[in-house]
Amino acid sequence: MNPSTMLITGASDGIGLQTAMQLGQHGGRVLVHARSEAKARDVVKRLDAHGVKEAVPVWGDLSVMAQVRALAAQVKAHTSVLDVLVNNAGVFMTEEQKSADGFELTFAVNHFAPFLLTHDLLPLLEAAPAARIVNVSSIAHARGQVTVEDLPVPKRFDGYGVYGASKLLNVLFTHELARRLTAAKRKSVTFALHPGVITTKLLKTGFGMAGASVESGARTSVFCATSKSVGVSGSYYSDAREVPCSPHANDPALEKAVYEKSCALLDCAPI
C-alpha cells in the first residue's frame, strides 16, 4: 500500500518522529502533529533534512478536547482525503492531574484524544480507497484494568495502573471501532499495536529505563500503515506481526460500554 496522505500525532520526537520519517520516505504527504506550532514547524525542518519533502505541520494540545477538534479542522483544511491516521501520541503521568475538560490527564491524551480525533476525521478517512487507523497501544495493556465507572477519572490513581488502563482502552476502542466500521460497511480498517520497549521520554519518565531504538519502535506502526500483509480489522500487532492481545482485552460488552460512554462524554456521534 502506498498511502498518499498520512497524519501522525505526537510526531515531535521519539517513535512519532521516526514513524513520520519512515512513512515520509515511502512517498506521499505526511501531516505531522506536535503540541505547538513552533514544534510542528521544527519537525518539518527535521524531516526535510532527512529527505522528506512533503511534510505539513499541524498542532494542538491533545489534553484539551477543543484543541483536538481544532487539530481535526486544520487537517481538513489541508486535505479532503486521509489514507492513514496514526494515533501515536501518549503520556505517562506520575502524579494525578485533571485536564481542562475534567478528565484524568493520562486518559485525556491516551484515550479521549485519539477517540475524538478519529471520529472527527472519519469523513476524510472514508474518502480514501482503503484508509487505515493505527492505534499505538502497549504491552502494558495486559496489566491494565478499567471499568466504565473509571471514565473520565479512575476511582484510584496509580501512575502505571492508569497508564496500563489507557493502553487497554486503546485496544478496546480498536476492537469496537473495527466492529462498527464493518457493520456500517465502511471502507476504513483499524489496528492496535505494541511498538516495543523503546528509548523515549515516556519510557524514561514512567519506567526510569532505556530500551531499543526509535527506529525499531516505528517499525510496527509503519507495517500497519502500509503492509499488504495485515490481517482483519481490529487485529493487534507486535514486532510487525499479528499476535494475540491480552485475553481480558477481548470483552465485547466492555468494548461497547466504553465506546458509548466515551461518545457521551465527548458529545461525539457514534458510528
Q: Which residues are catalytic?
A: 163
Tell me the chain's radius of gyration from C-alpha atoms: 17
> DSSP label at 194?
E
Distance of alpha carbon 146 from alpha carbon 86, whole angstroms: 24
CA proximity to 189, closest of 238, 262, 248, 122: 122
Are residues 203 and 7 in contact, defined by beta-carbon separation less than 8 angstroms?
no
Distance of alpha carbon 101 from alpha carbon 236, whole angstroms: 30
Distance of alpha carbon 182 from alpha carbon 174, whole angstroms: 12
**Residues across the chain:** 271
Task: Indicate the Cα dihedral angle 228, 229, 231, 237, nearest 10°.
Answer: -110
Instruction: Output the nine-digit C-alpha cell for 143.
Output: 496489566
The 55-59 sheet, strands edge to edge: 55-59, 29-34, 5-8, 84-87, 132-136, 189-194, 236-238, 241-242
Q: At a CB cut-off of 8 Å and minimum separation 6, what does 137 contact?
A: 167, 168, 170, 171, 174, 192, 193, 194, 236
